[in-house]
Structure 1
């Protein structure tokens, strides 16, 4: 599991934040492409991508929207494209998989279980919304469950993994998700090296305490030994402290406007590249080297950018 170079992932837009929360959130295909390319130029080796309806910024699973920015990103960068299979809790499984099945990327995200996923507390912080759908989507999270059953996970692993050759960013929002991943590893449905994303600070998942990150890593060490690499996603204001701790502990980092809209206390990030540059500065100050896309591919045993469907 030890490595000398740190992989920076950048999650460009996601489905959690809404346009009223930040004027810098990329929503159109052109904005998503430009933001992703700039993040790669700043040092991100992996680009984690969702799509949004360009008319009003709402999360969209439409493969046609993904195909408006995926070829541009591939043409302009060598970065690994990682397409969501999480989408949003309001999408069906078929919706969530549509873009990945069409694009056949090197990597997909995979949430390792069903869970409550609460974004409704944002209703107390946002004074006014630009679009009618925004408060409705946030309120809906009060009574919604993000679904990924064992059967769902099996299907994703077989269809995208075995058939299409994608490898996965295994998103683990709690300790139990690590044991679920170990279950699928023991059954032979996943093989190392695993890329495990510890997710801290989402309401419904494990809290953003440094002690929880240590516990997640200790548990993963016990379950996976040397056959995994870990990264950390810290939600909101916990982003930079937790991903910095990840690097200190020997892990990788994930930043981007999906995870946090801010660069620092009270300062909105004006771009994804701003966050990439900020964490790169921190990593280099710690005498850590940044992994290139080619080094990330080798480390994670990816199939290569010439094997994708876009």
Structure 2
């Protein structure tokens, strides 16, 4: 039976740094172009972070978000999904600034505190374009990404309940699925849940097929028919696990936030290139790709006319 697969594209993120790829969007103009290209290639949802246009460092500044959000909206019908994860070492208040300013249809929400290791990447690069990059990555050796029960509840109440924003629940491990079930049981959330299971980041679950199947089985048991499943896999695992997940009934996420590559040893030249590739794969599997409005219906979003940009 034909079904619709939602493609999300995460165009820049806060993990990779400018030294790692000349194609990583940094300025508002580059983020607009990347987002429009991804939407035209078939992405229904665009997941967004902001960066300092001079240095490429992740930034929580809502003014930077407002330099690209209205322009993307003018040029596409895509759902814009604003990060509440922000960047490493940002406070919760900083991470929520853009969501408060934009009141978007969709926000990401990490479902737990975790080690988030990027320090192992440092040795791959003998020189850096900007002084902040190496220290930013090295800091993950001793730091954590914080999303306590209290912080998660604040995000749900301050963003979800206040603005009618729904969430992409980012689950990096099995425990995060149980945390999500906890908030559902407390009736702080209403279905359908958009559950993004994330594989292959140091500190989270691995990227083996067995890991993906275990996350799927657990989510099925906890949420039954009350959720839509999506798959995000880091680096070289991106296309393989997204394909496997789609075969198993999932939606997919690609983009330069998650992987800088289009194939073995080949940097992706754009986000659209990754979207086009996963869309071709979906077509070969006889899976139909959802439009932005179909994604809105599936996720029960409030609509693009109800945002603050």
| TM-score, normalized by the shorter chain, greater than 0.5 | yes
**Counterpart in 1 of 2:205?**
206
Residue 191 of structure 2 is matched in structure 1 by 192
State the Cα distance separating 1:45 from its structure 2 match: 0.1
Instruction: Tell me which residue corresponds to 1:222.
Output: 221
Query: 2: distance between equivalents of 1:283 and 1:158?
Result: 36
Is it true that 1:148 corresponds to 2:147 in the alignment?
A: yes
Aligned to 2:107: 108
Q: What is the alpha-carbon distance in structure 1 between the residues aligned to residue 24 and residue 105 of structure 2?
A: 25
1:95-136 deviation digits (Å, cap 9, x = unpaired): 100001100000000000000000011111112111010001
- What is the aligned partner in structure 2 of residue 307 from structure 1? 306
Give SS of 1:68's match.
helix
- Asked if the contact 1:112/1:180 (under 8 Å) is kept, the reply is yes
Q: Which residue of 1 aligns with 2:121?
A: 122
**Structure 2 residue aligned with 1:159:** 158
**Does the CA-based 8 Å contact 1:89-1:147 persist in structure 2?**
no
Q: Which runs of 5+ in 1 are unaligned?
A: none
Q: Which consecutive unaligned segments of at least 5 residues does structure 2 have?
A: none
- Further displaced range: 117-126 or 13-22: 117-126
Whether the 8 Å contact between 2:2 and 2:287 is mirrored in structure 1 is no
Q: Which residue number corresponds to residue 134 of structure 1? A: 133
Contact 1:108 1:166 in 2 (8 A): yes
2: CA distance between counterparts of 1:246 and 1:294? 22
Q: Distance in 2 between matches of 1:203 and 1:97?
A: 25
Contact 2:243 2:281 in 1 (8 A): yes
Give secondary structure in 1 for the equivalent of 2:241: helix
1:19-64 deviations in Å (ceiling 9; x for gaps): 0000000000000011001100000000000000001100000000
Give the TM-score taking structure 1 as reference length. 0.99
What is the total number of aligned residue pairs between the two structures? 309
SS of corresponding position for 1:108: strand
Partners of 1:210 and 1:129 lie apart in 2 by 35
Counterpart secondary structure, 1:69: helix
Aligned CA RMSD, in angstroms, stands at: 0.8
Match of 2:262 in 1: 263
Superposed, which structure 2 residues align to 1:1-40 within 5 Å? 4-40=3-39
Check conservation: 2:8, 2:44, Cα contact below 8 A. yes
TM-fit CA distance, 1:223: 0.3
Instruction: Output the CA distance in 2 between the equivalents of 1:3 and 1:135.
Output: 47
Shift of 1:89: 2.4
Distance of 2:61 and 2:280 partners within structure 1: 36
Measure how far apart 1:3 and its partner are.
7.5
